[in-house]
Amino acid sequence: MQVGLFIPCYIDQLYPQVGMATVRLLEKLDVTIEYPEEQTCCGQPMANTGLTEETAPLARKFFDIFEKYEYVVCPSGSCTAMVRHHYEEYLANVSGFDELKKKTFELCEFLTDVLKVDKIEGRFPHRVGLHQSCHGLRELRLASSSEVNGPSFNKARRLLESLDEIEFAELSRPDECCGFGGTFAVNEEAVSCMMGLDRIHDHEQAKTEVLTANDMSCLMHLQGLIRRNNKQIRVMHIAEILAGES
């Protein structure tokens, strides 16, 4: 199995420990990975603000770099969703693009759907609150959402549940947006912050000790609000927990 590791630019620049935790986790599961150093931003921030001409060359660069791999794995639901659901506008006529979409996976869904992982060895003796990012939930279907009738499932929680001594904080609104939304947090700062504080309050009521998610972008937003408001909640990306960090 040849896996290309796709690391979002904000993780590369601001949270490199999440990228390294992803590497340790995949290697722990005997996955051989390659990190192509020429990779850049996937173009999502530009696409979100309507800069189509600026996004197109980044989409093409992503294709040229990653199309050779058997699988592409990314520790981010939003960046994975960008490739699978929004590159159509830029790469629809490119031969091989459909294959690239099918083999690009968010980290947790790669573990559950491709590797068929049932058990992650390790322990995490903390009370964990799981945040569901909007892109992962409603575009990638990493978990069932409250507005849709159907079977209940959650790929991230399933992996976390296999750890020894872990507890879960049960939220009153388990799949509500944190308010980040990329450039939305810049253009609508007040609304974004209020939404984030609502999510943090829900975690406080549920006695969350460690707040985790598939998306470091959501966690970055929540972590900033936690720090500025002197809240006693620790923030960790799910890769860090599954890789065995405490």
Tens-place pLDDT, residues 100-141: 999 999 999 999 999 999 999 999 999 999 999 999 999 999
Question: pLDDT at residue 246 above 80?
Answer: no
With tokens 């800069």, the residue in question is 51
Question: pLDDT at residue 150 above 80?
Answer: yes
For the chain, what is the total number of helices (H) and then of strands (E)?
14, 8
With tokens 């992650």, the residue in question is 120
pTM of the model: 0.95
Q: Could you tell me how many residues make up the chain? A: 246
Instruction: Produce one character per residue of 132-167: b if its CB has 16 or more CB atoms within 10 Å, e if not.
Output: bbbbbbbbbebbbeeeeeeeeebbbbbbbeebeebe
Q: Mean pLDDT over residues 134-161, rounded? A: 93
Measure the CA angle with vertex 240, ends 136 and 121; round to 5°.
Answer: 100
Distance CA 56, CA 10 (A): 20
The model's pLDDT over 195-218, given as tens digits with 9 standing for 90+, comes to 999 999 999 999 999 999 999 999
3-state secondary structure of 215: coil
Q: Rounded to 5 degrees, what are φ and ψ at 81?
A: -65, -35
Local confidence band at 149 (pLDDT 50, 70, 90 cut-offs): confident
The residue type of 13 is Q
* Averaged pLDDT of the chain: 95
